[in-house]
Structure 1
Amino acid sequence: MPYVDISRDDDYVSLWYITNSPSGHASSFDPNKPTVLLLHPILLDSTWLGAQFGDPRLSRDYNLIAFDWRTNGKSMSRYCGKQDSWTDAVDMALFCYALCLPAAHVWASEVTSVDAAVRFSILFPELCLSLTLLSTNSLDEVFRAGDELLQMWAGADDIETLEFALFQMVSYIVGTDVDPDLADELIGYFETSYPPFRAARLSQVSNRLVHRYPLSQKEHAAVTVPCLLIHGDKNQIHPLSRAEATVADLVNAKGGAKLFVIKGGQGYISVVPQWASISNRIFAKFLASQPHVRTKLGTPAEPLDQRLRRALDYLAELAGDSTLADAKEPLSSMSFSRLSPSVQRTHLDLVKTWARKQKSAWSPLDSDGRPIRRYSERKHDHWFQGDRNGMSYAGDL
């Protein structure tokens, strides 16, 4: 099974991954092709990267690999409240070391993946050939509104409440003009992956959204790899002005950071088919402009413990926090956490609270483990008809 297990005294995670190689494992990558590491959007998993894996402009010329973050998809982990974007970046490095991957082009979609990818390039530049960031640098207050929907979602006790929360979430992350079939797919995925009886896992995602800390100008200046930002100009979550500000902050990106704006693009542009095709074309063109680096699997010359200690010392220097360098277990991702002890306790307490509640939570799934109904079917279950925005009106009798 394609898992990477990372076990330490204070942490455990098993990261599920997929590739476009013949065997499905990294060991059968084509050595003549460069490698691209794809990071999926928050709330989804690597199965939602079909638009990228199925695009011959990428799958034909590159070794593609993606994994599920520790709070998503098939990946499993022990929660401790310390997870933040810096620990995610170290998860990426440990994943690459475990599979003996060479330096790769990193493609990241949406907020948590973008946050981790940028930090990965700062701490481990030798593993990162380039950065491509889709929808970046959102305002924290925007995501606090999304957190309210997550709370309604986790605590739903009937199908109407759950579907209302999920449709609002879909409209929030994909856009109000969401295709009905895509809405059905997303809502069905949310119902099976994060039903109320798995509210503790959903609260881990909520924790990641609420307590995000932006990079300083000094930290942005530490990014030295080539950078491409792709952004939709109609994105209601990620203002275009923030992407422009990020480009201005990436002063040391090789060749200068570049911004491509998709006209009319909104929501998760890696998931909505028309925006995904455009972003893939731009990404493929960007990759073609980079030096060709073959994929040579092998153990890095520098031992892992020494490399992580060096990364931890550098993080302490960037943060101006000498206590980070005092960590006794540099091999653990959790040693890189920048969250305060009080925030860590808040995260852990919230997850424990939802874990207790989920024991008696309502299930939106049938006996076969599938959703009771498709979201679109709700429009015809009574004489009130629902429009595409979820509002009901009285139809002709």
Structure 2
Amino acid sequence: MPHLKVNSPTGDVNFFYNITTPASPSSPAIDPNLPSVLFIHGEYVPQQIFEAQFSDPELRNRFNLIGIDLRGYGATGGFTPKTYTPTHAAHDLYLFLEALQISKIHIFALSINTHIALVLAATHPDLVHSLMLCSTVPPQEPEGVAAGRVELFEFWSDSQVQESGGRGLKGFDEDLLATLLKGAQQMLFSDNATPLAEAVTLVSLEYNAIGWAGTPEARETGHTFCLDWFLERRVFDVDFFSKIGCPVAIIHCEDDIAYPFGHAEELQAQLTQAGNARVTLCQIPGPRYANVLYPEILNPIIRNHILSVTEPNNPPGKGVSVVKKESLLETPFKEILAKYGYRADSSDEDSE
């Protein structure tokens, strides 16, 4: 499992990451001849949320794809301090990319962690070549959505069987945990419980049961990422947005039950009014994490956005094989997703 230790002002962090190139699903380095895309996951889930992007030959044969578990998520190690914000996370990612000697990056980010992408683009404009922001959040959390997130976290806390003293899923009440999962899946995937959505949910649960439960420090980490990042998030001003000059694609998912289309329009207006003339906005079908459910619609948007801002006729990397367009390629997430019943080479019916 590839890890990279970064010495950060907020404490050392041992990032778990994957680099996928045309030549390999798990490469030690990027192909320098190709554009690189950093995928930043959203709330509750680690990098396996991008299985449908990493398996797509239309993306894999054109770009380096980089997945990472943020601090406090997945297999990334390192203590999360009490004061840890998307601004701190953006600096950690800058140090991570610097350590990998990546000097230009495109970013695809989900949900609340689009704030990380925005901060990285504002503070390091020479590094970030373009942004793709999917399921963005408004400046402040709507009252009803905030109440829903508080309720989910209360279920998470209540479902932990304190007297067990155990880490992992053995320390949880199964009935309460089932209620929690149903609520989280409704917010992220609506009623579309596909095999991939189910597997991603269970992978996330496995990691979060260790990282966000069992000790006071772990519970505090869970509070940071499940509540603090939403309820206490930074409100960006015109001066901040004026520092983002790269092309920005804002992608809104039509069935997002938390944030309506108007919030995405507001972000587009803020960036445009701040002087960025290269901001586009589109809608796609599906719930908040539609990248899992509708990759056939989202992935071409990712591909076309990157190609529109990079030099044309980028030479392909060495070892690129000819792959049928409908074929899905192996990803670094194959083994852990298979543990929970997902196989990319089988139909939904077979997986179920």
TM range (shorter): 0.7 to 0.9
- TM-score w.r.t. the length of structure 1 is 0.68
Gaps of 5+ in 1: 296-372, 375-397
User: What is aligned with 1:231?
Assistant: 252
Gaps of 5+ in 2: 162-172, 316-339, 342-352
Paired residue for 2:278, among 256, 260, 265? 256
C-alpha displacement of 1:23? 7.8
Task: Give the direction of change, closer, same or farther, for the CA distance of 1:253–1:281 in structure 2 (3 Å limit).
Answer: farther
C-alpha displacement of 1:144? 4.2
C-alpha displacement of 1:253? 6.1
Question: Could you say what secondary structure the match of 2:89 adopts?
Answer: helix
Range with bigger deviation, 186-195 or 49-58: 186-195
> 1:60-81 CA deviation, whole Å, 9 max, x = no partner?
1001112110011110112221
User: What is aligned with 1:31?
Assistant: 32
C-alpha displacement of 1:8? 5.0
**Structure 2 counterpart of 1:167, one-letter code:** K
Structure 2 contact 196–292 (Cα < 8 Å) conserved: no
User: What is aligned with 1:202?
Assistant: 222
**Structure 2 counterpart of 1:46, one-letter code:** Q
Question: Could you say what secondary structure the match of 1:229 adopts?
Answer: strand
Q: Distance in 1 between matches of 2:261 and 2:239?
A: 22
Range with bigger deviation, 245-254 or 70-79: 245-254
Q: Distance in 2 between matches of 1:268 and 1:278?
A: 13
Aligned length: 291
Structure 2 contact 189–289 (Cα < 8 Å) conserved: yes
Structure 1 contact 26–65 (Cα < 8 Å) conserved: no
Structure 1 contact 14–77 (Cα < 8 Å) conserved: yes
Structure 1 contact 153–166 (Cα < 8 Å) conserved: no
Question: Could you say what secondary structure the match of 1:215 adopts?
Answer: coil
User: What is aligned with 1:151?
Assistant: 154
Q: Distance in 2 between matches of 1:130 and 1:165?
A: 36
Structure 2 contact 187–288 (Cα < 8 Å) conserved: yes
- TM-score w.r.t. the length of structure 2 is 0.76
User: What is aligned with 1:286?
Assistant: 305
Larger radius of gyration, structure 1 or 2? 1
Indicate yes or no: 2:296 matched with 1:277.
Answer: yes
User: What is aligned with 2:79?
Assistant: 78
Matches within 5 A, 1:1-397: 1-8=1-8, 11-21=11-21, 22=24, 24-27=26-29, 29-111=30-112, 113-138=113-138, 139-140=140-141, 141=143, 142-156=145-159, 157=161, 158-175=173-190, 177-179=191-193, 181-182=195-196, 184-195=198-209, 196-197=213-214, 200=219, 201-206=221-226, 207-251=228-272, 252=274, 254-262=276-284, 264-272=285-293, 274=294, 276-292=295-311
C-alpha displacement of 1:182? 4.8
Structure 2 contact 46–204 (Cα < 8 Å) conserved: no
> 1:322-378 CA deviation, whole Å, 9 max, x = no partner?
xxxxxxxxxxxxxxxxxxxxxxxxxxxxxxxxxxxxxxxxxxxxxxxxxxx99xxxx
**Structure 1 counterpart of 2:182, one-letter code:** F
C-alpha displacement of 1:108? 0.7
Quote the RMSD (CA, aligned, Å).
2.4
Question: Could you say what secondary structure the match of 1:230 adopts?
Answer: strand
Q: Distance in 2 between matches of 1:93 and 1:253?
A: 24
Question: Could you say what secondary structure the match of 2:249 adopts?
Answer: strand
Q: Distance in 1 between matches of 2:8 and 2:249?
A: 35
Structure 1 contact 18–66 (Cα < 8 Å) conserved: yes
Q: Distance in 1 between matches of 2:197 and 2:2?
A: 29
C-alpha displacement of 1:291? 2.4
Task: Give the direction of change, closer, same or farther, for the CA distance of 1:104–1:241 in structure 2 (3 Å limit).
Answer: same
Range with bigger deviation, 239-248 or 37-46: 37-46
Q: Distance in 2 between matches of 1:268 and 1:9?
A: 32
Question: Could you say what secondary structure the match of 2:292 adopts?
Answer: coil
Structure 1 contact 146–169 (Cα < 8 Å) conserved: no
Question: Could you say what secondary structure the match of 2:150 adopts?
Answer: helix
Question: Could you say what secondary structure the match of 1:250 adopts?
Answer: helix
Structure 1 contact 71–204 (Cα < 8 Å) conserved: no
C-alpha displacement of 1:164? 0.6
Task: Give the direction of change, closer, same or farther, for the CA distance of 1:8–1:126 in structure 2 (3 Å limit).
Answer: closer
Q: Distance in 2 between matches of 1:104 and 1:181?
A: 31
Structure 1 contact 231–265 (Cα < 8 Å) conserved: no
Question: Could you say what secondary structure the match of 1:129 adopts?
Answer: strand
Structure 2 contact 36–66 (Cα < 8 Å) conserved: yes
Question: Could you say what secondary structure the match of 1:77 adopts?
Answer: coil
C-alpha displacement of 1:33? 0.9
Task: Give the direction of change, closer, same or farther, for the CA distance of 1:8–1:285 in structure 2 (3 Å limit).
Answer: closer
Q: Distance in 2 between matches of 1:234 and 1:290?
A: 29
Q: Distance in 1 between matches of 2:85 and 2:222?
A: 15
User: What is aligned with 1:300?
Assistant: none
**Structure 2 counterpart of 1:250, one-letter code:** L
